[in-house]
Amino acid sequence: MAAAWKRLHALAARPGGRDITPLFAADPARAARHTLTLDDLTLDLSKTAIDDAVLAALLDLADAAGLGTFRARLFAGEAVNTSERRAAMHMALRAPDQAGLRAALPGGVDDASALVAAERAKMRDFVAAVHAGRLRGATGQRFDTVLNIGIGGSDLGPRMAVEALTSAAPGPMAARFLSNVDGHATLAALDGLDPARTLVLVASKSFTTQETAVNAAAVRAWLAGALGEAAVGQHFAALSTNLDAVATFGIRREFVFGFRDWVGGRYSLWSPVGLSIALAAGWDAFQAMLDGAWAMDCHFRDTEFAQNLPVRLALAGLWHINILGTANHAVLAYDQRLAHLPAFLQQLEMESNGKSVHLDGSPVAGATCPVIFGEPGTNAQHSFMQLLHQGPATIPVDFILAARPDHDRAEAHRILAANAFAQAEALLHGRSEADLRREMAASGMAEAEIARLAPHRVCPGERPSATILFERLTPYALGRLIALYEHKVAVQGCLWGIDSFDQWGVELGKMLAKGLLPDLSLPRPGGTHDGSTTALIARFRSLRGEE
């Protein structure tokens, strides 16, 4: 692999090796040759400094890193999550029932497809019963709202998907989400809800996640206070495997939906954690989302690397991060329905690949995951796009757009699309000082004023972007898009030689918080903290009048 990395660095060091516009001038067919498709899904990678030589070197790197073997092991259900010695078989959650997928766990192998098929049938029956009114609340009223309580993968994926699928046309039920342990979030989530018509999902595999447990207890008290303690069993369902804790909480066994440890939290929206999606958008929409993800799974599994959308998107990211030294990446969905996609991708990418050791525990020498951020277009153009156009650092961008909207404001959508394409074009070409001077002189501006203003108006250009375009944001298209990014992340983890499927860093802060909590309430705080933390605890208590 060292030779492949060295070759890539040498290619970037060529005169103009970071420039993009000369590649278009030299190759009129560049856009077509660096655009990949899967049905209506289009991935345009031509606005990057990846020429044929760079692409060949990136593909050689993939071969040297054993990407083919990794991909085969991933779909074979082998323990690619090495630190936890288990598979990452979230693909089974969207595969057909008879796919025959298996998944390794410490001490054994699961028939993943059979387990998923059984739980999926149970979910489907539950959703059908709720929508048909066969399952009702304690007062006999039909449920009209589902409240999902979870955090991390138990919130970000379902929240993003529900907003994407129901904001243009409301589904069978309204949906609300409660994740933050901040009491203000609980007040907002419950505001205006009718407890008699609210179905509550508690999404926590262990049923011990602190934030989820606190919020679930608060919502339980709210509901029991309004409807009585006996109502809890009729209004709560659990997405968990801790049957004892769920029973103690008061949730009926038939309202518990589980999933195995080969499903990581950030991949769990395809599992029973996605029950809120099925309830809010309808089972057919949820199933179509699964089908779209499985179509991308099959494409990733079966397609050669040069034409493989997740692989090519991942290789472009490595070129930018490791060779060109970019530290940030923007995701701009020109679709308000995808407003929560950047937050979802923050967890997917940064929790997966925010690692600093290789699989064998040795230190990683270079960078891994960039900082992911984003906002819907055109809002982003009036917030942080200034930095992307004129800031000193190069920040690659993913532009995401549906060709057909689900509204009848055709002119508004054309304006939206024009802005998306124009922003990518502006990042590519920029605006030179010579051009600016000619334009200002043609307008009659004095030479002294031109000299004063021109440097401030220059946009350097040569800034890379990828464009992801598809026909409509259907449930199928959404599933396919999410799976595209999932597999991109896995490919990058393989090439960096890290474990993309564990998240030990998440645990440290949670552990320390549990130990620190008593110091915020004891008459005489104990514990051994650094000077800053000790002082902040004291100041916090003083501001509360507790010192």
- The set of catalytic residues is 351, 382, 510
Q: What tokens does 498 get?
A: 């890290």
Question: Helix (H, G, I), strand (E, B), or coil: what is residue 431?
Answer: strand
| Contacts for 84 with CB less than 8 Å, ≥ 6 apart | 106, 261, 501, 502
Other C-beta atoms within 10 Å of 320: how many? 23
Buried b (16+ CB within 10 A) or exposed e, 460-471: ebbbbbbbbbbe
Q: Hey, what's the torsion of the CAs at 444, 450, 456, 461, to 10 degrees?
A: 70
DSSP alpha helices (H): ranges in 231-321? 232-235, 243-249, 275-281, 283-302, 309-318
- Pairwise CA distance, residues 512 & 490, whole Å: 30
Other C-beta atoms within 10 Å of 526: how many? 8
Q: Is 284 exposed, middle or buried (0-12, 13-18, 19+ CB in 10 A)?
A: exposed
Hunting for tokens 């890290």 — which residue is that?
498
Q: What tokens does 490 get?
A: 């896995």
Q: What tokens does 3 get?
A: 């030779």
| Contacts for 468 with CB less than 8 Å, ≥ 6 apart | 41, 42, 43, 44, 398, 399, 400, 401, 481, 484
- Pairwise CA distance, residues 128 & 203, whole Å: 20
Q: Which amino acid is at 294?
A: W
| Contacts for 40 with CB less than 8 Å, ≥ 6 apart | 470, 471, 477
